[in-house]
C-alpha cells in the first residue's frame, strides 16, 4: 500500500448541505421488526444503527434496501483490512480446500504454528524472547479473564488496579475492571471487591484539575504512593491493567511519559502490568501495538478483534516469569479455531508487507487535520484526540459553564443527533466516552486518502445539520 502523507490544505471549514443532498430515511423493515421482537433487550448497536446488512466490501456495507454506507465502526475495530479483503478470503478458502481440521481444542497444527510464529515476529524483541502464549475462548473478554487468573496464580495476590474510564469486556470478572457503572449496577456485590480504581491521565478533563505535564506527574506520584504507603489501605495488587488508548471510555490516549512511569512503578513494586491491546493492537494506532509508542515492555498483553482476521479469536501473550499455572488452569472449547488463525496470519503478514502502520498514522493525521479545520466553525467540537486511526471528538456545549481547566461541558444531547445525521448521509460512526458524548472514528486501516476526505465531508455536513437547531 502506498502511504499518503500529504496533509489537508487550508480551506474554509463550513460545509453547507448541498441543495441536491438526498438523505436516507429509516423505517422499520420486516427484518428489523423481527429483531426487535425476538432478540434480547440487551442488544445495543441496532438501537442506534437500525440497519439490516446484506453485503460488504472494503470500507463499505450495503443494507437490504440497497443503500451503501461507509463503515467507520468496522466491527469495533475488528476489521483491520475491512470487509472481505482478498487475503482473508483466500486464507479461509485454503483451509476449506485443504480439508484442514476446523476445531482442534489446543492441539497444534501447521496453521497454529504459523500463526504463533507470525505473531511472535510482530512483538518487540524484548517481549518476544521470553514470550508465552495462551489461546483462550473466542472473545477479548476471555483473554482478560485468562490474564486475571494468570497474574493471581503467579503472584499469590488477588487484587487488581484498574482505571477510571476503562473497558475490558462484559463477563463478571472483566466487568469488575470497568469504569462505567451502568452495566455493573444490577450485579451489586458480585463486582464490588478485589479491584481498586485509579485516575486515568485524561488531559482534557484532568482528574486533578491540572492537565499537561503537571497532571501526569501528580497522577504518577499518587500511584507510587498508593503502592508503597503502608497506611494507604490498599493491598499490593497482583497486577495493574490498562488501555494505552481508552476506547469505549472516549478514545483517550495515555500520555507516553505516564506510561513509562507506570511501567517503572509497577516493575519496582513487583506488580504485573497488563496492557489491553484488544482494540488498539495490530497497526490501529500507527504502531503494531499501542504500547510501542512509549517503548515499554508489558508483562501481559491481551489481544483479540483484529488478530482473527474478522473471525473470533483471543490470546494472552505474557513473559515467562508468570508461567506458573498448572495444566488445565485455563481452557475453552473454541480456543482452536483454525480458520481464524489462518485469517489472522494473513492479516498480520499484510500489515507488515504493505506498511499499514505508516499508512494508518498518515491517514489518522489527515482525518485529524480535517477535524481541526471543521473545529474553526463548530465550537461544539471540543477535544480532538487519539492515535493513528483510533480517533475521537468530544462534543461540548460552548454555552455551558467551563470546568477547572476552562473547557466547556460535554454535550451529550448533541452526540446522537450527529450520529443520526451521519447515518442519513451514509456514514456509520459510534459513540463512547463519558455521557456518550464522544464521536469515535474506527475505519478499516486500508482506508484511502480520498475516502478519508469523504468521511470528513460527510461529518461536516452532519455537524451543520445537527447544530442548525441549537
- Whether 2 has a pLDDT exceeding 70, the answer reads no
Q: What is the CATH number of the domain that holds 67?
A: 3.90.1150.10
Backbone angles phi, psi at 337, to 5 degrees: -70, 95
pLDDT of the residue at 13: 47
| CATH code of residue 137 | 3.40.640.10
Mind listing the pLDDT tens digit for each residue in 143-154? Answer: 999 999 999 999
- Both 310 and 385 in one domain: the answer is no
Cα–Cα distance between 299 and 200 in angstroms, integer?
Answer: 20
238 and 346 belong to one structural domain: yes
Across residues 304-331, what is the average pLDDT? Answer: 96
Per-residue model confidence (pLDDT) at position 338: 96
Q: Would residue 267 count as lying in a domain? A: yes
Residues 385 and 323 in one domain: no
Domain count for the chain: 2
What pLDDT does 78 receive? 97
Residue 82 counted as domain residue: no
Average pLDDT over residues 221-243: 94
pLDDT in tens, 263-313: 999 999 999 999 999 999 999 999 999 999 999 999 999 999 999 999 999
Decide if pLDDT at 11 tops 70. Answer: no
Residue 255 covered by a domain: yes
Taking the C-alpha atoms of residue 181 and residue 165, their distance in angstroms, rounded to an integer, is 10
Give residue 232's pLDDT: 87
Position 444 confidence tier, pLDDT thresholds 50, 70, 90: very high
Q: What angle do CA 241, 384, 441 make, to 5 degrees?
A: 70
- Whole-number Å distance between alpha carbons of 166 and 168: 7
Strand extents, DSSP E, 260-332: 272-276, 300-303, 315-319
Partnered with residue 56 across adjacent β-strands are: 61
Higher pLDDT, 315 or 180: 315
459 or 332, which is more confident:
459
Q: Which domain holds residue 431?
A: 30-72+380-467
Distance, CA of 343 to CA of 339 (rounded, Å): 6
Are residues 293 and 423 located together in one domain of the fold? no
Q: Are residues 300 and 388 in the same domain?
A: no
pTM: 0.94
Asked if 47 and 107 sit in the same domain, the reply is no
Same domain, 301 and 394: no
pLDDT of residue 19: 56
> What value does the CA radius of gyration of the chain take, rounded to a whole number of Å?
22
Residue 130 lies in a domain: yes
What pLDDT digit, counting tens, does each position of 166-208 carry? 989 878 788 788 777 777 777 765 565 788 999 999 999 999 9
Q: Which of residues 12 and 436 earns the better pLDDT score?
A: 436
Amino acid at each position: 500500500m502506498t502511504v499518503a502523507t500529504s496533509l489537508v490544505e487550508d480551506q474554509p471549514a463550513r460545509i453547507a448541505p448541498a441543495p441536491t443532498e438526498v438523505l436516507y430515511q429509516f423505517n422499520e423493515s420486516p427484518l428489523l421488526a423481527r429483531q426487535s421482537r425476538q432478540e434480547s433487550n440487551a442488544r445495543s448497536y441496532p438501537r442506534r444503527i437500525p440497519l439490516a446488512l446484506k453485503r460488504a466490501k472494503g470500507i463499505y456495507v450495503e443494507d437490504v434496501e440497497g443503500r451503501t454506507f461507509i463503515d467507520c465502526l468496522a466491527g469495533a475495530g475488528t476489521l483491520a483490512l475491512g470487509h472481505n479483503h482478498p487475503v482473508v478470503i483466500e486464507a479461509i478458502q485454503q483451509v476449506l480446500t485443504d480439508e484442514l481440521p476446523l476445531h482442534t481444542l489446543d492441539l497444534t497444527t501447521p496453521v497454529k504454528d504459523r500463526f504463533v510464529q507470525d505473531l511472535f515476529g510482530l512483538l518487540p524483541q524484548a517481549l518476544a524472547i521470553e514470550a508465552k502464549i495462551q489461546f483462550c475462548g473466542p472473545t477479548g473478554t476471555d483473554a482478560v479473564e485468562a490474564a486475571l487468573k494468570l497474574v493471581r496464580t503467579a503472584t499469590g495476590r488477588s487484587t487488581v488496579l484498574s482505571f477510571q474510564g476503562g473497558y475490558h469486556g462484559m463477563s463478571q470478572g472483566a466487568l469488575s475492571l470497568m469504569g462505567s457503572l451502568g452495566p455493573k449496577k444490577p450485579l451489586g456485590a458480585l463486582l464490588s471487591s478485589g479491584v481498586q480504581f485509579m485516575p486515568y491521565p485524561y488531559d482534557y478533563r484532568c482528574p486533578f484539575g491540572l492537565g499537561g505535564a503537571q497532571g501526569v506527574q501528580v497522577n504518577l506520584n499518587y500511584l507510587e504512593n498508593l503502592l508503597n504507603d503502608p497506611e494507604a489501605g490498599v493491598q499490593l495488587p497482583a497486577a495493574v491493567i490498562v488501555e494505552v488508548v481508552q476506547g469505549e471510555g472516549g478514545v483517550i490516549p495515555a500520555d507516553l511519559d505516564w506510561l513509562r512511569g507506570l511501567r517503572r512503578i509497577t516493575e519496582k513494586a513487583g506488580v504485573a502490568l497488563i496492557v489491553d491491546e484488544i482494540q488498539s493492537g495490530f497497526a490501529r494506532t500507527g504502531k503494531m501495538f499501542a504500547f510501542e509508542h512509549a517503548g515499554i515492555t508489558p508483562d501481559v498483553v491481551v489481544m483479540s478483534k483484529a488478530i482473527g482476521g474478522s473471525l473470533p479469536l483471543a490470546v494472552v501473550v505474557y513473559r515467562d516469569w508468570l508461567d506458573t499455572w498448572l495444566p488445565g488452569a485455563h481452557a475453552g472449547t473454541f480456543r482452536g479455531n483454525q480458520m481464524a488463525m489462518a485469517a489472522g496470519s494473513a492479516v498480520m503478514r499484510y500489515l507488515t508487507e504493505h506498511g499499514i502502520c505508516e499508512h494508518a498514522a498518515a491517514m489518522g493525521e489527515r482525518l485529524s487535520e480535517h477535524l481541526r479545520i471543521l473545529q474553526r466553525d463548530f465550537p461544539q467540537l471540543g477535544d480532538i484526540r487519539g492515535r493513528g486511526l483510533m480517533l475521537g471528538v468530544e462534543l461540548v456545549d460552548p454555552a455551558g459553564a467551563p470546568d477547572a481547566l476552562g473547557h466547556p461541558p460535554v454535550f451529550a444531547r448533541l452526540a446522537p443527533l450527529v450520529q443520526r445525521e451521519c447515518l442519513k448521509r451514509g456514514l456509520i460512526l459510534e459513540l463512547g466516552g463519558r455521557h456518550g458524548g464522544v464521536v469515535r472514528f474506527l475505519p478499516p486501516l486500508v482506508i484511502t486518502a480520498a475516502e478519508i476526505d469523504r468521511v470528513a465531508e460527510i461529518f461536516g455536513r452532519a455537524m451543520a445539520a445537527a447544530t442548525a437547531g441549537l
